[in-house]
């Protein structure tokens, strides 16, 4: 049967068009239930034993996804119109709904109601599309009840009007909350019901003391979208993506093209319910109200006062404990992102604004990790029954979330995941609902789970489809590969690999040999992952999504299945492995004469660790092949390195730490600085050489679709913190180019203080921008530059086992060599852009997760321990210092008033509650920005940047069940001799 | 845009291997020697055939066989947006040539030396697949004109979107950016008369798409056959009535 759909639409040019589309109605659409005698067995999906079949309404699909995903909600009919509407409204919910319909356990059956001859409904004249769709859903439910008279059909909808009409038509209808109550077998279902507007109204009806009270308005209404877009067009408002401070949910920035500087949004009212990642419209405040970020470290008293004035019973954003040193480019400690400085200096002021509308919410569908806020009255516990509680998120950049739960008592010591549903003007905090429990607070596994979830890292095991792409073990070199003329047999070469100890995924191996003419042949052999990882397979898609292997302190989350990473691809010693080799002919003084790339077969002679390799280089008595080659390679690497520094490559430092892990409990036993050897640099140098050569080769062949990596030159103002700090220490740093910067960093040496130079380099790292992947077609050639390496071209080629970028580069290089066609997806610009964005985001997330894991293990290490350690002042503020503890790689704030009092009381085991000091007793300190010095008014104590000091480190539990490292200044005399540096 | 949804239906409710509803009518114009309208869903094409007749241009007269010419154009009102598309339009010229070329191979031109056959094709309503509809309409019009032909010709297109081969793309699917392959077959002789595509596609996909399009052609041929039979039935009835009256 044929129906014609006619509608009117407006073209881009503003013309009005009448569009006529065909719409075929079919007879071969079935109910999907075995109870239906006419149903085609191929489309059986619903279980015949289900208590009832649920027909889904669009509003439920859109807002109650967590509820629908619960294992107890099964046998659901999803009318196609619902799927269609969800797709138009929210892509991420659509993906989740699609996953549900694909699942065999959930039994979600998509019923193509729009194409079924009996359930198609035509829009009545004057009927809105929404009403028509509601009617279509009711019609589908009706059809089901006629088709399956023996089975109760339930229309699940949160729209009261729809429910009434359905009941009139003889179909049972219920809201999600009502259905959850009906399912007494699964009490936690109620918690999963989103506290959307409809449900709230219902809760009020149902009664129960926990219903929200009538509250006064806290926030201003958002402007309607039409007004916002008009305002942006007229230049009254500015649009941008909000980034909230990592330390304070009420301070954020947006960068937008219409204003040169970033716009500061400070305070609850100015943020007006916007959260990190939201696209917002901002109105600038008049210039006299502009302000700078605070020069003070936020103290508990201030935050308390701020909270009290808003009349909410909650403690927020305690003064931030110590963190693992964030040597992340571009990241700084609270509120020093901008020009920095004091509140009063007008130079430090920056455009300040307030949010007038939210253009796009970016509430995470995967939810936020947090824990219940304990009741205000100590000792009181959450009673049974439904309770409204606040959830304190793990990440400080998010506000508290109010949820309604029946399991408050059992959840109080758990880490849970909550999703945010709404944020009304009369509510200080967003409302959300419980999603699931992760485990007990403080437990290592739970906290690891938290950090993985917070960084959106997929830890799910690989699907069977992915495993099906892996060749069976034991894998051995096949005939076909050995006979392939394009694959060079390099098994005779003395190849060896050098990696960190315990490394199982060996990506790279090296060789060097003397050629007849006196020149040398240098080879870098990279695991030939793309031989096994073919484009557009399930494994390729999964790897592309994961984008990188994530390394945590005690665990590794692989990008590829284990058999590939640890065996088939890994260039282990003594076995034949496939490789992609880059081979250079170089003169004895490391001048490159020629470069070639080839697929190859290699057999690694030895898999060494950095330490072993170093030992063999140092031991002059060893004259075997591998040792001599290592020595030769080391010599070449040193020349290459010197040449690179000559060009202006920076040598930066980051305080990497290493844990010694107990093999039984997996708890950290000791923390120490990671030792860098010559061999680390040797391998690094070879990899850089390979990467640069590959970048050139791929770009030469495909100027418009090569994947490269660039490192943008930092803006001069990013160097300001470094320049100021160095100036205070009496050094001038010239950051006008990477070359001058490298030279000034080399010059920043204090004879008496060997660690000083490293400290300066760590600071310099923080001024850097982030290096990013990009598609060569998207930028102009000068923008390809890699600042840190002072290389015009750079890419990633050397770790295809653990980075997807390298896989892409391998494929492009294969195409450049004519070994395989360029995958079609590389020519599709928008698709490449998506891939590149994903690579950058995942890369960043993996870094953050790795660091969070280090932080977690540091906390575990310090649990129940109080340690006195040597520290250095890295920043001076009016009421405190930021100090860095090199031994543990910890950086954190210390408050001078604390230190002062601690000095009087005698230190070591300072009480955990030391933060709630009476404001009156604070001694006055004078802050000199120029000299980066803070001194007591009476001239007693003074601290200058780079000063050494001693701190006690201990773990403190703060509000919201966050555990933080607390640092307190101590007398240096307390420092054990072994701990003293410099 | 999702061109094939979760339950395997396309935007208009068809399955990937289904063609749109076909309709045809013959002898729709009294003044032409042969004419037909042909509809594939919302695509509607009118074809008129003049000839075989004496070649108008003496210089171009072929003494060994008939000359087949085609003029393809789209009516200004054929697409939603009113646009003037003349016959000098490059796309139209190219389509004209393709149609003439396809049908010339099927006409027994050697039986009609020194003549020319003019085929005029006008798209009345455009909703994708115009080229194939034009060939089908022209074939019916030629048959109506009594032009001797080797076999029946049927044309159908297929495309590839969302990793699925789709038969007989409509306008929306046509705009989906995927490749489209138009195929015209002599269905009795199993000969390919035309195979056109403007985009790159890999060998495997190409074979899948061409196979699907050929199946489409067979379905179209079946429909054309019934149309012709019904038409001939009507004609013979009319003739027998005329004879009995005479």
pLDDT digits (tens, 9 = 90+) for A211-253: 444 556 778 888 888 888 888 888 888 888 888 877 677 788 8
Mutate to test the interface with A, among B2, B4, B7 (most CBs of A within 10 A): B7
DSSP string for residues in B5-39:
-TTS-BTTS--TT----EEEEE---SSSSEEEEEE
Q: What is the mean pLDDT of residues A958-964?
A: 66
How far apart (Å, rounded) are the C-alpha atoms in residues A74 and A149?
19
Task: Decide if A22 and B5 are in contact by the 8 Å CB cutoff.
Answer: no
**Structure tokens of A438?**
């992760």
Range B173-194 average pLDDT: 91
Question: A21 in contact with B at a CB cutoff of 8 Å?
Answer: yes
CB atoms within 10 A of CB A982: 12
Contact B42 A22 (CB under 8 A): yes
> Residue B226 has what pLDDT?
95
Q: Residues near B20 by Cβ (< 8 Å), separated by ≥ 6?
A: A22, B12, B14, B40, B41, B42, B43, B129, B168, B170
- Beta-carbon count within 10 A of A12 CB: 5
Q: What would the two tokens of residue A419 be? A: 């999703």
Partners of B176 on chain A (C-beta within 8 Å) are none
Do residues A872 and A912 make contact, with C-beta atoms less than 8 angstroms apart? no
- Of the listed ranges A306-315, A328-337, A412-421, A765-774, the least confidently predicted one is A306-315
The mean per-residue pLDDT over the stretch A549-569 comes to 87
Maximum Cα–Cα distance across chain B: 64
Q: Specify the range with the lowest mean pLDDT, choosing from A268-272, A753-757, A922-926, B216-220.
A: A922-926
pLDDT at res. A305: 41
**Of B64, B134, B53, B68, which is closest to residue B95 (Cα–Cα)?**
B134
pLDDT of residue A819: 84
Local confidence band at A208 (pLDDT 50, 70, 90 cut-offs):
very low
Averaged pLDDT, A772-784:
86
Q: Which residues of A402-427 are buried (b: 16+ CB within 10 A; e: fewer)?
A: bbbbbbbeebbebbbbbbbbbbeeeb
Q: CA–CA separation, A309 vs A56, rounded Å?
A: 45
| pLDDT at residue A691 tops 80 | yes
| Chain B interface includes A87 (CB < 8 A) | yes
pLDDT exceeds cutoff 80 at A918: no
* pLDDT, tens only, B72-104: 998 888 887 766 655 568 888 999 999 999 999
∠ CA A129-A195-A439 to the nearest 5 degrees? Answer: 130
Structurally, at CATH architecture level, domain B22-245 sits in 2-Layer Sandwich (3.30)
Mean pLDDT over the full length of chain B:
90
Dump pLDDT digits (tens) for B124-166. Answer: 999 999 999 999 999 999 999 999 999 999 999 999 988 889 9
Using alpha carbons, select from A245, A308, A683, A727 the residue that is nearest to residue A500. A683
Nearest Cα neighbor of A271 from A178, A387, A358 is A358
Asked if the C-beta of A56 comes within 8 angstroms of chain B's C-beta atoms, the answer is: no
- Is B231 an 8 Å CB contact of chain A? no
Which residue in A22, A78, A824 has the most chain B C-beta atoms within 10 A of its own C-beta, making it the best mutation to test that interface? A22
Is-contact B182 B196, C-beta < 8 A?
A: yes
Using the Cβ of A114 and the Cβ atoms of chain B, whether some distance falls under 8 Å is answered with yes
The angle at the Cα of B145, spanning B140 to B147, to the nearest 5 degrees, equals: 90
* CB-based contact A389:A403 (threshold 8 Å): yes
Residue-level pLDDT at A381:
55
> What is the per-residue pLDDT for A295?
53
The string of pLDDT tens digits covering residues A499-517 is 888 888 888 899 988 888 8
Residue A337 has a pLDDT of 35
Interface touch A83/B172, C-beta < 8 Å: no
* Listed residue (A371, A325, A207) closest to A654, CA to CA: A325
Phi-psi bin for A935: left (phi > 0), alpha (psi -120 to 50), beta? beta
Cβ-defined contact of A83 to B6 (cutoff 8 Å)? yes
The complex scores an ipTM of 0.89
Q: Chain-wide mean pLDDT for chain A?
A: 79
* Residue A479 in contact with partner chain B when CB distance is under 8 A: no
Phi-psi region of A961 (alpha: psi -120 to 50; beta: other; left: phi over 0): left
Q: Which of B41, B80, B172 sits opposite A17 (nearest CB)?
A: B80
Q: Which of B2, B4, B6, B205 is the mutation pick for testing A, counting most A CBs within 10 A?
A: B6
The pLDDT score that the predictor gives to residue A12 is: 63
Inter-residue contact A23 to A84 (CB < 8 Å): no
CB A556 within 8 A of CB A457: no
Averaged pLDDT for residues A32-38: 85
- What mean pLDDT comes out for the span A190-207? 58
Q: How far apart are CA A850 and CA A899, in angstroms?
A: 32
Handedness of CA B220, B222, B228, B234 (dihedral sign): negative
Largest Cα–Cα separation, chain A? 95
In degrees and rounded to multiples of 5, residue A196 shows phi and psi of -70, 180
Q: Is the pLDDT of residue B37 over 90?
A: yes
Comparing CA positions, the residue from A428, A208, A415, A230 lying closest to residue A313 is A428
Q: Which one of B7, B13, B81 has the shortest CB-CB distance to A24?
A: B13
Higher pLDDT, B40 or A969: B40
Q: B100 to chain A nearest CA, in Å? A: 30
The C-alpha atoms of residue A892 and residue A849 are separated, in whole angstroms, by 19
Confidence of residue A701 (pLDDT cuts 50, 70, 90): confident
Q: How far apart are CA B174 and CA B198, in angstroms?
A: 12
For residues A92 and A364, give the distance between their C-alpha atoms in angstroms, rounded to a whole number. Answer: 10
A85 interfacial to chain B (CB closer than 8 Å): no
| H-helix segments, A279-349 | 300-309
Cβ–Cβ under 8 Å, residues B85 and B73: yes
What pLDDT shows up at residue B56? Answer: 82
User: With pLDDT > 90 as the criterion, what percentage of chain A qualifies?
Assistant: 7
Contact B42 A15 (CB under 8 A): no
CB contact under 8 A, B7 and A24: no
In order of their start, the domains of chain A are 2-186 (3.40.50.1010), 225-298+327-360 (2.40.50.690), 368-441 (2.40.50.700), 650-680+714-768 (no CATH), 864-974 (2.40.50.140)
Whether A841 shows a pLDDT value over 70: the answer reads yes
Break chain B down into helix, strand, coil percent, rounded to 5.
35, 30, 35
B 41-70 residues inside an 8 A Cβ radius of A: 41-42
**pLDDT band at residue A317 under the 50/70/90 scheme:** very low
| Average of per-residue pLDDT across A311-328 | 42
**Residue A904 scores a pLDDT above 50:** no
């Amino acid at each position: 049967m044929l129906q014609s759909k006619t509608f009117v639409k407006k073209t881009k040019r503003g013309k009005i068009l009448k569009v006529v589309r065909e719409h075929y109605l079919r007879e071969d659409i079935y109910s999907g239930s075995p109870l239906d005698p006419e149903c085609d067995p191929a489309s059986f999906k619903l279980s015949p034993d289900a208590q009832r079949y649920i027909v889904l309404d669009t509003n439920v699909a859109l807002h109650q996804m967590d509820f629908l995903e619960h294992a107890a909600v099964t046998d659901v009919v999803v009318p196609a119109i619902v799927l269609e509407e969800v797709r138009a409204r929210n892509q991420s919910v659509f993906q989740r709904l699609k996953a549900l319909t694909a699942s065999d356990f959930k039994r979600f059956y998509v019923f193509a109601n729009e194409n079924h001859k009996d359930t198609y409904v035509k829009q009545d004249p004057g009927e809105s599309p929404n009403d028509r769709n509601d009617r279509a859903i009711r019609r589908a439910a009706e059809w089901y009840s006629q088709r399956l008279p023996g089975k109760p059909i339930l229309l699940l909808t949160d729209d009261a009007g729809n429910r009434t009409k359905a009941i009139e038509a003889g179909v049972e209808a219920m809201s999600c909350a009502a259905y959850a109550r009906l399912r007494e077998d699964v009490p936690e279902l109620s918690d999963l019901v989103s506290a959307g507007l409809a449900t709230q109204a219902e809760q009020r009806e149902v009664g129960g003391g926990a219903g929200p009270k009538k509250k006064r308005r806290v926030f201003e209404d958002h402007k309607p979208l039409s007004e916002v877009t008009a305002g942006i067009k007229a230049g009254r408002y500015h649009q941008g993506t909000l980034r909230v401070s990592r330390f304070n949910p009420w301070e954020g920035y947006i960068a937008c093209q219409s204003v040169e500087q970033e716009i500061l949004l400070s305070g609850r009212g100015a943020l007006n319910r916007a959260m990190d990642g939201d696209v917002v419209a901002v109105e600038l405040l008049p210039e006299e109200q502009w302000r700078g970020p605070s020069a003070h470290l936020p103290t508990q008293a201030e935050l308390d006062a701020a909270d009290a004035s808003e009349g909410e019973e909650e403690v927020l954003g305690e003064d931030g404990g110590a963190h693992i040193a964030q040597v992340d480019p571009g990241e700084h400690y609270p509120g020093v992102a901008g020009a920095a400085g004091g509140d009063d200096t007008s130079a430090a002021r920056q455009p300040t604004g307030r949010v007038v509308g939210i253009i796009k919410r970016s509430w995470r569908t995967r939810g936020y990790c947090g824990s219940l806020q304990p009741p205000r009255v100590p000792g009181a516990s959450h009673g049974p029954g439904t309770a409204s509680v606040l959830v304190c998120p793990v990440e400080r950049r998010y506000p508290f979330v109010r949820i309604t739960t029946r399991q408050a008592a059992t959840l109080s010591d758990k880490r849970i995941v909550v999703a945010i549903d709404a944020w009304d003007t009369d509510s200080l905090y967003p409302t959300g609902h419980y999603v699931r429990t992760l485990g007990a607070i403080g437990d290592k596994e739970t906290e690891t789970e938290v950090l993985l979830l917070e960084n959106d890292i997929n830890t799910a095991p690989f699907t069977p489809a992915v495993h099906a792409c892996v060749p069976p073990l034991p894998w051995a070199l096949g005939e076909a590969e050995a006979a392939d003329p394009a694959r060079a047999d390099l098994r005779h070469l003395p190849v060896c690999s050098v990696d960190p100890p315990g490394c199982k995924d060996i990506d790279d191996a090296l060789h060097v040999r003397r050629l007849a003419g006196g020149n040398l042949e240098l080879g870098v052999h990279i695991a030939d992952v793309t031989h096994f990882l073919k484009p557009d397979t399930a494994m390729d898609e999964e790897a592309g999504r994961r984008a990188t292997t994530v390394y945590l302190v005690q665990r590794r989350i692989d990008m590829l299945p284990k058999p590939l990473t640890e065996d088939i691809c890994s260039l282990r010693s003594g076995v034949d492995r496939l490789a992609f080799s880059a081979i250079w002919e170089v003169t004895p003084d490391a001048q490159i004469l020629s470069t070639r790339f080839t697929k190859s077969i290699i057999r690694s002679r030895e898999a060494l660790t950095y330490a072993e390799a170093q030992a063999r280089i140092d031991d002059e008595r060893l004259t075997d092949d591998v040792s001599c080659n290592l020595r030769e390679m080391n010599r070449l690497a040193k020349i290459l390195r010197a040449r690179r520094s000559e060009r202006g490559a920076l040598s930066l430092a980051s305080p990497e730490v290493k844990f010694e892990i107990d093999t039984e409990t997996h708890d950290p036993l000791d923390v120490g600085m990671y030792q860098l050897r010559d061999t680390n640099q040797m391998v690094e140098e070879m990899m850089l050489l390979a990467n640069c050569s590959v970048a050139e080769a791929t770009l030469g062949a495909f100027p418009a679709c090569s994947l490269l990596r660039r490192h943008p030159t930092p803006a001069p103002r990013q160097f300001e913190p470094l320049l100021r700090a160095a100036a205070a220490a009496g050094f001038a740093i010239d950051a006008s180019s990477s070359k001058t910067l490298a030279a000034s960093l080399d010059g920043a040496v204090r004879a008496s203080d060997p660690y000083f130079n490293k400290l300066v380099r760590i600071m310099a790292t923080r001024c850097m921008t982030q290096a990013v992947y990009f598609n060569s077609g998207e930028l102009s050639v000068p923008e390809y530059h890699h600042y840190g390496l002072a290389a015009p071209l750079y890419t990633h080629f050397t770790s295809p086992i653990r980075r997807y970028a390298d896989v892409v580069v391998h494929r492009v290089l294969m195409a450049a060599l004519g070994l395989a066609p360029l995958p079609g997806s590389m020519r599709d610009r928008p698709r490449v852009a998506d891939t590149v964005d994903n690579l950058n985001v995942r890369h960043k997330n993996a870094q953050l997760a790795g660091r969070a894991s280090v932080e977690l293990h540091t906390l575990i290490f310090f649990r129940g321990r109080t340690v006195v350690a040597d520290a250095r002042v890295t920043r001076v503020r009016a009421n405190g210092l930021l100090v860095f503890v090199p031994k543990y790689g910890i950086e954190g704030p210390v408050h001078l008033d604390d230190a002062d009092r601690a000095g009087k009381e005698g230190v070591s085991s300072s009480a955990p509650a030391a933060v709630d000091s009476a404001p009156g007793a604070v001694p006055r300190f004078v802050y000199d920005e120029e000299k980066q010095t803070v001194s007591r008014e009476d001239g007693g104590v003074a601290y200058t940047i780079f000063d050494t000091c001693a701190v006690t480190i201990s773990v403190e539990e703060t509000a919201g069940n966050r555990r933080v490292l607390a640092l307190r200044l101590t007398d240096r005399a307390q420092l054990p001799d072994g701990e003293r540096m410099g | 845009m999702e061109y094939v949804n979760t339950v395997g239906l396309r935007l208009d409710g068809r399955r990937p291997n289904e063609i749109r509803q076909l309709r045809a009518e013959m002898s729709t114009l009294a003044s032409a020697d042969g004419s037909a309208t042909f509809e594939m869903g919302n695509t509607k094409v009118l074809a008129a055939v003049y000839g075989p007749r004496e070649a108008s241009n003496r210089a171009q007269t072929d003494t060994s066989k008939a000359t087949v010419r085609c003029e393809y154009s789209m009516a200004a009102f054929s697409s939603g947006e009113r646009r003037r598309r003349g016959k000098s339009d490059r796309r139209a010229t190219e389509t004209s040539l393709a149609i003439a070329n396809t049908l010339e191979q099927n006409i027994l031109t050697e039986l009609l030396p020194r003549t020319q056959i003019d085929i005029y094709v006008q798209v009345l309503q455009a909703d994708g697949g115009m080229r194939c509809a034009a060939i089908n309409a022209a074939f019916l019009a030629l048959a109506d004109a009594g032009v001797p032909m080797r076999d029946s010709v049927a044309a159908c297109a297929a495309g590839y979107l969302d990793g699925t081969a789709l038969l007989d793309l409509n306008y929306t699917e046509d705009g989906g950016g995927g490749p489209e392959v138009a195929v015209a077959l002599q269905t009795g002789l199993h000969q390919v008369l035309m195979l056109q595509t403007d985009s790159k596609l890999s060998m495997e996909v190409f074979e899948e798409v061409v196979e699907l399009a050929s199946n489409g052609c067979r379905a179209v041929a079946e429909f054309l056959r019934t149309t012709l039979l019904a038409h001939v039935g009507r004609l013979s009835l009319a003739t027998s009535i005329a004879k009995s009256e005479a």
